[in-house]
Structure 1
Amino acid sequence: MYIPHYYKNENVEEIKEFLAQHSFGILINQLDGKPWATHTPLELDKDSEGNDILVGHIAKANPQWRAFDPESKVLCIFNGPHAYISSSWYQEEEVPTWNYIAVHIYGTLKVLSEEETMSFLYKLVDKYEKDSDNPISLHDMSPQTLRQVKGVVGFTIKIEEIQAAYKLSQTRSQDHDRILEELQNRKDAGSQLIAKNMKESNS
């Protein structure tokens, strides 16, 4: 994606933390000559050689997997918070804009075996159930229920390129205090989270 240099984030550890917190992404490849996208959890992990990878799954009923090709790249998009920025908050006349955080990852995809897919699904469910009042585990489910795993395709994506845009009013330092005040006065979650990220980036 196009990222002006002052919005580009190249802090790998910060980006990894973002991916851990915003792992519900969009997987994009080409299917029959047109872009195809699926919204799905894409979990950051490492392979046996220590390379950073994403691990995910989609339904076999989804034709996207039939175009999975280890020789071609896929794109994964992860969206963070975003908020409208009114130029009425600026000291000088300017057009309004939008602050946001987004990460694009390019890589090559490898389809997992059924056994590998099941291992990933155990970890995925355990991760998101751990804070539940009554957590479930795939370990406790019947073989009949777990046969549903035959209806999904698991995969890993070897991360080959990361593009991270953190647009947080970096070019408006003279207006930061006013922008923060206005964002914090808004009730929507996007404005609150963008304000939080702006404060942290300046600390």
Structure 2
Amino acid sequence: MYIPPAYRNENPADIRKFLEENAFGILVSTGPLGPMATHLPLELVEKGDQTLLLRGHFARANPQWRHIAEGDEVLCIFNGPHAYVSSSWYVEEEVPTWNYMAVHLKGAYRTQTEEELWEALHALVDKYESDSEKPVSLHQMSRATLAQVRGIVGFEIRVTRLDAAFKLSQGRTQDHPKIIKELQARGGSSNAIAQAMKDQSGT
């Protein structure tokens, strides 16, 4: 991913927070007819030796996993909020632009063992059920229901490269108050970019 120096973020806390909040990523690999991609929940795990892993699973019916060999390099893309920025919000004339936040991770693919897959599934469900009014657990489910796990293939990716681009009008600090105000008025993803700009500047 091309990242101008001003937009590159190398703060581990910022990146971890981003990945936690935008954990539904895209896994890209090479197939027989060209690139293949699947949208998946991908959970970041840090091992004791500071190794970063991404854990996820494919539907067994998805052909992509059959074309990834053990140790192959894959790319995982995580998209965050984005917003159009009008140049009418600037003090001086300039072209419009787009603010965005994205993280790319590359790493070596490995198929999980059955035990590793179950561990990852329990952690995934427990994490996303934690704020439910009546959280469910895999421990509560019948054997018949859990038999559906035979329909997925678990994997982990040992991260070898991480690139984070947080493009937040860094070169136009004099225009930040106006940009933030206009983005907040638009709501949605634009408001999320406004909040990221505020967080970046500490306001």
Task: Write the distance in 2 (CA, Å) between the matches of 1:198 and 1:47.
Answer: 31
Matched-pair contact (CA < 8 Å) for 1:74–1:106: yes
Matched-pair contact (CA < 8 Å) for 1:114–1:149: no
CA shift for structure 1 position 67: 1.4
- Write the deviation string for residues 15-34 of structure 1: whole angstroms up to 9, x where unpaired: 01111111110000011141
Task: Write the distance in 2 (CA, Å) between the matches of 1:55 and 1:152.
Answer: 13
Q: Which runs of 5+ in 2 are unaligned?
A: none
Tell me which residue corresponds to 2:29. 29
Pairs within 5 Å for 1:100-119: 100-119=100-119
- Write the deviation string for residues 157-186 of structure 1: whole angstroms up to 9, x where unpaired: 001100100000001112111111111222
CA shift for structure 1 position 111: 0.2
Q: Which runs of 5+ in 1 are unaligned?
A: none
Task: Write the distance in 1 (CA, Å) between the matches of 2:145 and 2:114.
Answer: 15
- Identity score, percent: 54
Matched-pair contact (CA < 8 Å) for 1:9–1:166: yes
CA shift for structure 1 position 106: 0.4
Tell me which residue corresponds to 2:45. 45
Tell me which residue corresponds to 1:10. 10
CA shift for structure 1 position 115: 2.2
- Write the deviation string for residues 64-85 of structure 1: whole angstroms up to 9, x where unpaired: 1111223321000001111110
2:197 counterpart letter in structure 1: M
Tell me which residue corresponds to 2:191. 192
TM-score, with length taken from structure 1 = 0.96
Tell me which residue corresponds to 1:142. 142
Task: Write the distance in 1 (CA, Å) between the matches of 2:67 and 2:58.
Answer: 13
Q: Deviating runs (4+, > 3 A) in structure 1?
A: 47-50
Task: Write the distance in 1 (CA, Å) between the matches of 2:170 and 2:61.
Answer: 44
Name whichever of 141-150 and 43-52 sits farther off. 43-52
Give the RMSD, CA atoms, in angstroms: 1.2
Tell me which residue corresponds to 1:201. 200
User: How many equivalent residue pairs?
Assistant: 202
SS in structure 1 opposite 2:170? coil
Q: For residues 28 and 109 of structure 1, do their structure 2 counterparts lie closer, same or farther at Cα, with a shift above 3 Å needed?
A: same
TM-score, with length taken from structure 2 = 0.96
CA shift for structure 1 position 47: 4.0
**Pairing 1:83–2:83 present:** yes
Task: Write the distance in 2 (CA, Å) between the matches of 1:61 and 1:132.
Answer: 30
CA shift for structure 1 position 125: 0.6
Task: Write the distance in 2 (CA, Å) between the matches of 1:65 and 1:39.
Answer: 13
Task: Write the distance in 2 (CA, Å) between the matches of 1:20 and 1:165.
Answer: 16
2:32 counterpart letter in structure 1: D
Q: For residues 181 and 168 of structure 1, do their structure 2 counterparts lie closer, same or farther at Cα, with a shift above 3 Å needed?
A: same
Matched-pair contact (CA < 8 Å) for 2:71–2:110: no
CA shift for structure 1 position 48: 6.4
1:141 counterpart letter in structure 2: M
Task: Write the distance in 2 (CA, Å) between the matches of 1:103 and 1:128.
Answer: 21
Task: Write the distance in 1 (CA, Å) between the matches of 2:62 and 2:114.
Answer: 17
CA shift for structure 1 position 192: 0.9
